[in-house]
Amino acid sequence: MKIAFLNSGPSSTKNFSTSNACRSMAMMLGKLGDDVMLFAMGEKEAEIKENFYTEKIVRRVSPPGTNLKVRIMDIVYLTLFKKRYSSIKNNQNRDLISDLKEFAPEIIISFNRYFVDLLVNYKKVTKVKLFAVTDDISEVCNAEKIREDMPNENNKNAIIRYLKIRVLRFLSYRLINFYESKYDLMLREFNKIIFFTKEDMKRTLNKHREFKSKLLVIPPSIEITKTKIVKPKKVAKNVLFVGNYTDMKNVDAIRIIKEKIAPATSGLDFIVAGKGGKKETYKNFKSLGPVKDIGRLIDSADICIVPLRYGTGIKIKILDFLSHHKPVVGTSIAFEGFDVKNGKNAIICDDLDSYPRVLNALAIDYKLRKKISDETGELLDFFSDKRVSKIWLKLLDAQKLV
């Protein structure tokens, strides 16, 4: 059995990312198949080689007996307007289709919507089966919702923020149209559509009942290194949120933390960090922007929060928090795909007005924070290789590929 993976981009940290989930799944199936090829994509060839897909890293993390091979791909540019791609092989640029023809996979598992047209055309001239690993696109961009929620303040910052949202709103329309066209084609032409969460599958199923037989849920198999449990402080002090500042759902969450939660909470310091942000301090709120060692930052936090109002799929930031045994307070949307038992292994809070009260109570409740920290491993075990590989084996057997 030959399987080709197309991932969604590089990871430049040792923590989780969608790319990490893809790589981990590729390595897991590498133990099951005769030949597995991971096409590792990213914006800069140097960044990929230095930070993620070097042969040293691949050898170190590959489990014994894995037949995984990695082919570095350098995305020259890939936007809504132009789509070019090339792979790096023997210092020669080659297009993706040439690489696929040479490898001749029996199945292609794609984490990337950009190549839907290309893969569908490739399928027409081969016997390959196409699997997509995706989330629902119904909330791929919520710029309009976020814009409507903005307070009507007559000051310079509010005006600048309003203009930024207007620009993002314009771009979001183009993005949504682009994604919808790719998504519809994927639903029609791919053999299987795999979601990480049952909530995502239900959202798609509500609109596309005709594709019910193609849809299924398989959680990601993620390489998880559980850190040593650090005894919680008697009284919590630092509250952390991590997320890309260019992602609209994170933009909304950061604004809520800064303007709504932090001002109404006493005795706690709120820290946010992530790519695209700027350093800023305002009373008990601090924005760090990008940080080199997210793991160390998470270790320094007493409580982690994820007050997301929008979004789909598995929230990788929660896996980061859980792997460091941190008590997490988040919305139902944030915890989609997780088997959360409220008050036991995490705290679900959908009422944003209640966050100051919930966080103040949790900060002084040492026993509850310790209890939640001790139970985080249960949530992580849901994504173990052993469990997820059984689901994939059953799927591949049904496709008569095993």
Question: Between 295 and 64, where is the model more confident?
Answer: 295
Query: If you average pLDDT over every residue of the chain, what do you get?
Result: 77
CA 123 to mean position of chain CA atoms: 28
- Interatomic CA distance for residues 304 and 236, integer angstroms: 11
Q: List CB contacts of 368: < 8 A, sequence separation 6 or more.
A: 327, 343, 362
* pLDDT beyond 60 at 64: no
Share of the chain above pLDDT 90, in %: 36
> The pTM is what?
0.77
Instruction: Work out the pLDDT band at 221, boundaries 50, 70, 90.
Output: confident
pLDDT in tens, 180-219: 888 899 999 999 999 989 999 998 999 899 999 999 999 8
Terminal Cα distance for the chain, rounded: 7
pLDDT in tens, 84-113: 334 434 334 446 777 788 888 899 988 877
Spatial contact of 284 and 265, defined as CB atoms under 8 Å apart: yes
CA distances to 88, 143, 163, 256, 309 from 150, in Å:
45, 11, 11, 10, 14
Domains and CATH numbers, the chain: 2-140+169-223+383-398 (3.40.50.2000), 238-381 (3.40.50.2000)
- Among 45-59, 175-189, 270-284, the range scoring the smallest mean pLDDT is 45-59
- Among 273-287, 308-322, 351-365, the range scoring the smallest mean pLDDT is 308-322
- Among 113-117, 156-160, 326-330, 339-343, the range scoring the smallest mean pLDDT is 156-160
